[in-house]
């Protein structure tokens, strides 16, 4: 039996040297990094002194200054010094003694619109200057001057103040509020919340034109007047009253007057259009008051008279609106023209009269002292036409 051949080990394939390959890769990375470092300009490498030099303070970033100019900033620079603060000072009694002292009772704003013969003139709101014993004017640079009330008008909420022109540099130019468009940019300048925020600038658009806002002058819960105003979403707050509403031509196109102050209402500011304000400003400056035509009567809204009492008026069933003549002043235009008590006014110069507000607006906005007015009234159930010549006065 042949002896079996001695078993021989099967030769294995030799594995590549892994350690050598790893070292070769590391060396390749290092060489590549060195080549990049050598070939890259040093001014493009990031500098971080706080990392490279721990014992040195981080370098300060270079500050770049830009002088920003826009249409709005240029306009504000041009007109800001025409807007002033108006402080209403009155004598009040100390609650702890009988001593009297002069105290600030309110602040508002005003706009310098005219300068001549050593005087300058400021337009503001009636409610800003109402009952003031002293008016203190604060300019944009903080200097102060004493103001003298020339005149004010409750119905339009406008007032004119006179000052010496020593500190006056510029005056505001009147624009044309009739040309305003909805969406047009406007700038409001004034002193919201008092002189601590003097010269504040807010920017918005014309939200609406020909707005009619009800006003209760004596706070009896009944509307006395409807003010025609511009609506803007530029922020207007207490203290802005009397300030300027400016267009992008740098022109005064409104006198900021009031703000609807309800928690549910935001972004509604109101201003008196300059085209309505200008003739009132002129009358206040020249005469110290606005002389309005009068009929010489006292009136009651027909709608406020109970139905049982309306029976005595003997009105047609379809007459539901109008104004009832309650009393007639002797020798007044109404008396001379033959107006009778309980006449119900329904029309003036062809314009329908529904209540005392529409009657006031026609009388105050459409007529002048000395004008002839044609009025239609119901008298004992019959329609009567009356012509009268208006005179000046402080009542209807």
Q: What is the mean pLDDT of residues 10-27?
A: 54
SS3 at position 248: coil
Q: Which of these ranges, 53-57, 99-103, 188-192, 370-374, has the smallest mean pLDDT?
A: 53-57
pLDDT level of residue 52 (50, 70, 90 thresholds):
very low
pLDDT level of residue 25 (50, 70, 90 thresholds):
low
Please provide residue 230's backbone torsions phi and psi, each rounded to the nearest 5 degrees.
Answer: -95, 145
Q: Which of these ranges, 2-11, 155-164, 176-185, 376-385, has the smallest mean pLDDT?
A: 2-11
pLDDT at 49: 47
- Cα separation, 140 vs 189, in Å, equals 11
Please provide residue 294's backbone torsions phi and psi, each rounded to the nearest 5 degrees.
Answer: -140, 155
**How open is the CA angle 131-134-224, to the nearest 5 degrees?**
20
The secondary structure of residue 6, as a DSSP letter, is P
pLDDT level of residue 226 (50, 70, 90 thresholds):
confident
Q: What is the mean pLDDT of residues 368-378?
A: 95
- 75-93: pLDDT as tens digits: 999 999 999 999 998 887 6
Beta strands 83-93 and 134-138 are antiparallel
Domains and CATH numbers, the chain: 72-164 (2.40.10.10), 177-287 (2.40.10.10), 293-392 (2.30.42.10)
Q: How distant, in Å, are the alpha carbons of 162, 257, 360 from that of 225? A: 28, 15, 8
- State the catalytic residues: 127, 157, 241
Residue 2 has pLDDT above 50, yes or no: no
pLDDT at 215: 84
Q: What is the mean pLDDT of residues 4-11?
A: 46
- Calculate what percentage of the chain has a pLDDT beyond 90: 54
The secondary structure of residue 129, as a DSSP letter, is H
- Spatial CA neighbour of 238 closest among 256, 225, 263: 256
Between these two residues, 220 and 320, which has the higher pLDDT value? 320
- Spatial CA neighbour of 184 closest among 272, 107, 106, 254: 254
């Amino acid at each position: 039996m042949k002896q079996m051949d001695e078993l021989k080990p099967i030769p294995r394939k030799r594995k590549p040297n892994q350690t050598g390959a790893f070292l070769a890769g590391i060396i390749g990375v290092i060489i590549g990094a060195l080549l990049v470092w050598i070939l890259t300009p040093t001014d493009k490498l990031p500098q971080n002194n706080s990392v490279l030099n721990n014992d040195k303070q981080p370098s300060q970033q270079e500050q770049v200054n830009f002088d920003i100019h826009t249409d709005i900033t240029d306009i504000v620079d041009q007109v800001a010094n025409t807007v002033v603060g108006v402080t209403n000072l009155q004598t009040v009694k100390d609650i702890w003694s009988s001593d009297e002292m002069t105290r600030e009772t309110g602040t508002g704003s005003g706009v310098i619109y005219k300068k001549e013969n050593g005087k300058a003139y400021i337009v503001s709101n009636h409610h800003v200057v109402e009952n003031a014993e002293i008016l203190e004017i604060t300019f944009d640079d903080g200097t102060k001057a004493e103001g003298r009330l020339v005149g004010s008008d409750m119905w339009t909420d406008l007032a004119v103040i006179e000052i010496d022109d020593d500190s006056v540099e510029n005056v505001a130019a009147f624009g044309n509020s009739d040309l305003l468009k909805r969406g047009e940019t406007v700038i409001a300048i004034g002193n919201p919340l008092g002189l601590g925020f003097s010269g504040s600038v807010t920017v918005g658009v014309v939200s609406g034109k020909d707005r009619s806002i009800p006003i209760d002058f004596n706070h009896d819960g009944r509307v006395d007047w409807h003010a025609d105003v511009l609506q803007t979403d530029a922020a207007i707050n207490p203290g802005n009253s009397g300030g300027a509403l400016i267009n992008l031509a740098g022109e005064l196109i409104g006198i900021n007057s009031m703000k609807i102050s309800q928690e549910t209402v935001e972004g509604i500011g109101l201003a008196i259009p300059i085209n309505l304000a200008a003739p009132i400003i002129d009358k206040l400056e020249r005469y110290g008051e606005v002389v309005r035509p009068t009929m010489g009567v006292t009136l009651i809204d027909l709608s406020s008279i109970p139905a049982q009492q309306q029976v005595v008026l003997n009105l047609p069933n379809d007459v539901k609106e109008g104004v009832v003549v309650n009393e007639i002043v002797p020798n007044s235009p109404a008396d001379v023209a033959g107006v009778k008590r309980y006449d119900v006014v329904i029309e003036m110069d062809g314009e329908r009269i529904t209540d005392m507000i529409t009657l006031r607006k026609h009388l105050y906005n459409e007529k002048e002292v000395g004008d002839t007015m044609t009025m239609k009234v119901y008298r004992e159930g019959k329609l009567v036409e009356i012509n009268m010549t208006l005179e000046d006065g402080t009542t209807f």
